[in-house]
């Protein structure tokens, strides 16, 4: 029941009798019993009529809003009514606008996470899925990570990219493309204005940064001359450890490092290793015939099996990493070559020392050549030819090295691009 009285005083605010107490100007003190039945709740209510509707608007609790502040809040609502504005409608509109603004104010780091969640399932392999966000965390988050995507402009993108652009322009350009993709998604999602993307190359960063193709000459993977492969393989066979076995397997199969690192046991059937499409650079599954020595390596690893990975890292659960193979090469005195470069050594050997057709050698490297009809025609016969090619490569790598025929390791490395 409403109690009409003189304007409220501070002492009256301590009343414990439930009810409504008028202060004047549509401001009321509301006292209700607490849920426990032993205490009371005191709050401010603005009661008004608008367009024939009686409405009650909460102005806060007595413990938070003083009597003076409550009177000022009531005055502000009366002014709105004077202008024909419903106070509750205005309050709800302001809250909705604030909620939208907060939703849009996501940081670049949060926008990156959203992009990865949306697109990660479509990426070809686990390595790419790891590298994509990791590159942004390392190179971009220190500058842009905590900033709202709506506040990111070209100067900030330039600040993030400049430190790595001249050092590794190709990597920097890939990162630029990833920034562009994150900001594009943020714009479509309503988190930043649509229109020009501050990370785009054409018409924007091309005027501020040197072309990545001209900033620094392309550096190909350092490749060992194929004539030295038997010497290295003899050293590898004497080495202990998973990394040495993985490197030997990589050389014998002419595979890419990532394909070997992420290999799991269910990809192997007899003397055939089928790498699934999602782990291939070409996006197509690739069948690799295994020479006898490669099968021996698998048998060694199967005896040590800890899980699904064929070549696991130290914890037995995560894949071996590039650093492990690099350490093996350094330890054996071949720190000037890369694991990926052995694909080039294999291709040089196949072209210079064998009569296998170019198409067979390219197929062994999972390179796509020819038109679709030509590719479909070769699919049925290339496997048998590639099996013979890989057996010949394994035989070459295993050939004995006479003491007087040891190939010197000091001469220059191949500069041929690695396939």
What is residue 29's predicted lDDT score, i.e. its pLDDT?
94
* 204-232 average pLDDT score: 77
What is residue 319's predicted lDDT score, i.e. its pLDDT?
87
Q: Return the CATH number at 238.
A: 1.10.443.10
What is residue 373's predicted lDDT score, i.e. its pLDDT?
41
Q: Give the domain range for residue 198.
A: 108-215
Give the helix/strand (H/E) hosting 59: strand 53-61
Average pLDDT of the chain is: 85
Cα dihedral sign for 62, 63, 67, 69? negative
Measured between alpha carbons, how far is 299 from 293 in angstroms, rounded to an integer? 10
Does residue 369 register a pLDDT over 50?
yes
* pLDDT digits 0-9 by tens, 243-271: 999 999 999 999 998 899 999 999 999 99
What SS3 class is residue 84? coil
Measured between alpha carbons, how far is 19 from 323 in angstroms, rounded to an integer? 75
Q: Where are the beta strands (DSSP E) in 218-314?
A: 268-269, 272-275, 286-289
The last residue of one of the domains, among 60, 76, 103, is 103
* 173-199 average pLDDT score: 90
* pLDDT digits 0-9 by tens, 281-340: 777 889 999 999 999 999 999 998 888 999 998 888 888 888 888 999 999 998 888 888
In terms of pTM, does the model score above 0.85? Answer: no
Measured between alpha carbons, how far is 133 from 115 in angstroms, rounded to an integer? 9
Measured between alpha carbons, how far is 223 from 15 in angstroms, rounded to an integer? 89
Measured between alpha carbons, how far is 226 from 235 in angstroms, rounded to an integer? 15
- 75 & 113 share domain: no
Q: Is 220 domain-assigned?
A: no
Q: How confident is the model at residue 111 (pLDDT cuts 50, 70, 90)?
A: very high
Does residue 371 register a pLDDT over 80?
no
Q: How confident is the model at residue 158 (pLDDT cuts 50, 70, 90)?
A: very high
Q: What are residue 305's DSSP bridge partners?
A: none
If 0-12 CB within 10 Å is exposed, 13-18 middle and 19+ buried, where does residue 291 land? buried
Q: Is 90 domain-assigned?
A: yes
- 266 & 200 share domain: no
Q: Considering its fold, how many domains does the chain have in total?
A: 3
């Amino acid at each position: 029941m409403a109690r009409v009285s003189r304007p409220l005083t501070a002492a009256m605010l301590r009343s414990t009798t439930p009810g409504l107490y008028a202060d004047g100007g549509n401001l009321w003190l509301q006292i209700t019993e607490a849920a426990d039945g032993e205490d009371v709740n005191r709050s401010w209510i603005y009661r008004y009529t608008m367009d024939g509707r009686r409405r009650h608007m909460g102005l806060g609790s007595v413990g938070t809003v003083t009597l003076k502040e409550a009177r000022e809040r009531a005055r502000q609502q009366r002014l709105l009514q004077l202008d024909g504005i419903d106070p509750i409608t205005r309050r709800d509109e302001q809250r909705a606008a604030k909620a939208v603004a907060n939703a849009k104010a996501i940081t670049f780091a949060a926008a990156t996470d959203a992009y990865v969640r949306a697109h990660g399932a479509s990426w070809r392999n686990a390595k790419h899925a790891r590298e994509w966000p990791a590159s942004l965390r390392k190179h971009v988050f220190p500058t842009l990570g905590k900033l709202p995507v709506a506040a990111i402009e070209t100067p900030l993108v330039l600040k993030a990219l400049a430190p790595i652009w001249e050092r590794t322009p190709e990597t920097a350009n890939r990162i630029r493309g990833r920034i562009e993709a994150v900001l594009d998604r943020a714009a479509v999602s309503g988190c930043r204005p649509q229109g020009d993307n501050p990370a785009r190359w054409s018409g924007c960063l091309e005027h501020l940064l040197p072309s990545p193709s001209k900033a620094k000459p392309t550096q190909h993977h350092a490749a060992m001359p194929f004539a030295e492969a038997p010497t290295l393989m003899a050293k590898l066979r004497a080495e202990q450890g998973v990394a040495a076995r993985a490197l030997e397997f990589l050389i014998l199969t002419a595979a890419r490092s990532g394909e070997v690192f992420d290999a799991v046991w269910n990809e192997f059937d007899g003397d055939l290793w089928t790498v699934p499409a999602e782990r291939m650079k070409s996006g197509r599954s690739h069948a690799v015939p295994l020479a006898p020595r490669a099968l021996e390596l698998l048998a060694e690893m199967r005896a040590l099996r800890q899980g699904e990975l064929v070549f696991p890292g130290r914890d037995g659960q995560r894949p071996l990493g590039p650093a492990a193979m690099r350490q093996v090469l350094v330890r054996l005195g071949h720190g000037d070559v890369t694991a990926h470069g052995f694909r080039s050594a294999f291709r040089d050997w196949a072209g210079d020392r064998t009569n296998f057709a170019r198409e067979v050698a390219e197929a062994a490297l999972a390179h796509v050549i020819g038109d679709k009809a030509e590719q479909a025609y070769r699919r049925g016969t290339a496997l048998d030819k590639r099996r013979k090619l890989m057996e010949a490569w394994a035989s070459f790598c295993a050939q004995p090295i006479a003491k007087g025929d040891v190939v010197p390791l000091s001469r220059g490395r191949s500069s041929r691009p690695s396939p």
